[in-house]
Amino acid sequence: SADLDKVRAAAEEFLELFHNENPRAAPIRPRIAAVMREIDMTGTYWHTPAELAFGARVAWRNNARCIGRLYWNSLQVRDLRAVSDAAGVAEQCFDHLRAAHNGGKIRPMISIFAPETSIRPAPRIWNEQLIRYAGYDQPSHRVIGDPRYRAFTAEVIKRGWTPPEHPGAFDVLPLVVETVDEGPRMFDVPSSVVHEVPLEHPELPWFAELGMRWHAVPVISNNRLEIGGVSYPAAPFNGWYMGTEIGARNLGDNDRYALVPQVAERMGLDTSDEATLWRDRALVEINRAVLHSFQANEITITDHHTESRRFLVHLEKEERAGRSCPADWSWIVPPMSGSQTPVFHRYYDAEDLVPNFFADDEIAHRALHGAPPAFR
């Protein structure tokens, strides 16, 4: 069939890449022949552990949105393809959080659960990240917590999740794992694997009183990993945070924690006139607080200037290796002080390469609305 032809072509392309970059691997011809037989029989094939690890690393290397790719080759890969039940997936996700946190010296890591096969759909994790904070709609139209997840929060409550007695701004949402046998199931994330950093400012003592904090390890959990024609819908991965993700976006965006006006007011800025650049000033101070607090707690974090320079080193290395390095300008350029970073001042390749990570509209919708289920 046409579908199987696609799998065969993708498998062959990937195996060639793997053997090109791993000259000491077993000979390629017998491996391709074996994989083709396997596809004939089952519609898919089983990656060797070395292929799996290489595939995941190259998926990172190929992801045009990620500025942190310099260390792509050191990604730690947890081969969990034998795990396909909801409780097993949840348990291993919590272990991932523990192992990746590593006492603050965060390790880039991916956990790869059972793949999609023709006879058995793979498990799915609904949440955008393993740790995300609930958002509660209030009668006053204010939201407590993260407004991005107000629909998701309402949906998990409808499904039976009990929020804390006193809903707070940083209540960790339950993990929703869906399998074809069990449907969607919810699991509370044990507090022992949720490491958080209370935010304080190096110079402004009142900042700590805002009661802000953020979690240490960003594990994106809803992207589908695709390697050589095999699809791994559950393959949560993490790096460490770049400060702007927290300070500029999660805390700064108007439709997230929207901290800028509050901080500007505490700073005593004139918010009646945009030309005082009160937004810009408050934004910088929030971001200073994030970087300072992570550093004070000895949690790995990077700033956008350093990371931009590292990314240019990565581009050079990729060029020297004779590879194209696709990059999406609008994702690579940081959300603050764009033109102060060297990544602003150049163009990038725009190819789509596989292996890679994907999130289609349905996946994205499920992560924000907690619906519809994948298997109905």
Query: Which residues of this protein are in contact with ligand HEM, per CB under 6 A?
Result: 60, 63, 65-68, 71, 75, 108, 110, 220, 223, 237, 239-240, 242, 245, 302, 307, 331, 357, 359
State yes or no: residue 147 binds its own copies (CB under 8 A). no
Nearest-angstrom CA–CA distance, 134 and 167 = 9
Q: Least CB distance from residue 209 to its own copies, whole Å?
A: 21
* Residue 69 is a catalytic residue: yes
With CB cut-offs between 5 and 8 Å by kind, which of its own copies, ligand HEM, none does residue 108 bind?
A: ligand HEM
* Residue 66 is a catalytic residue: yes
State yes or no: residue 305 binds its own copies (CB under 8 A). yes
Q: Are 363 and 222 in contact (CB under 8 A)?
A: yes
Specify the residue, 292 or 314, whose C-beta has the smaller distance to its own copies: 292
* Residue 329 is a catalytic residue: no
Residues 310-339 that bind its own copies (CB under 8 A): 329-330, 333-339
Helix (H, G, I), strand (E, B) or coil at 145: strand
Residues in the chain: 376
Q: How far is CA 66 from the centre of its chain?
A: 10
Q: Hey, which bits of the chain come out as E strands? A: 76-80, 109-113, 124-125, 135-137, 143-145, 175-179, 183-187, 196-198, 213-215, 219-220, 224-227, 230-232, 237-238, 241-242, 301-302, 356-358
How would you classify the pairing of strands 301-302 and 241-242?
parallel
Specify the residue, 77 or 210, whose C-beta has the smaller distance to ligand HEM: 77
* Residue 325 is a catalytic residue: no
Q: Which residue out of 51, 178, 245, 285 is catalytically annotated? A: 245
State yes or no: residue 146 binds its own copies (CB under 8 A). no
Residue 315 to residues 79, 279, 329, 370, Cα–Cα distance (Å) = 29, 33, 13, 38
With CB cut-offs between 5 and 8 Å by kind, which of its own copies, ligand HEM, none does residue 257 bind?
A: none
Q: Which residues of this protein are in contact with its own copies, per CB under 8 A?
A: 202, 243, 248-249, 252-255, 260, 274-277, 279-281, 283-284, 287-288, 291-292, 295, 303, 305-306, 329-330, 333-340, 342, 344-345
Q: Any idea which residues carry the catalytic annotation?
A: 66, 69, 240, 245
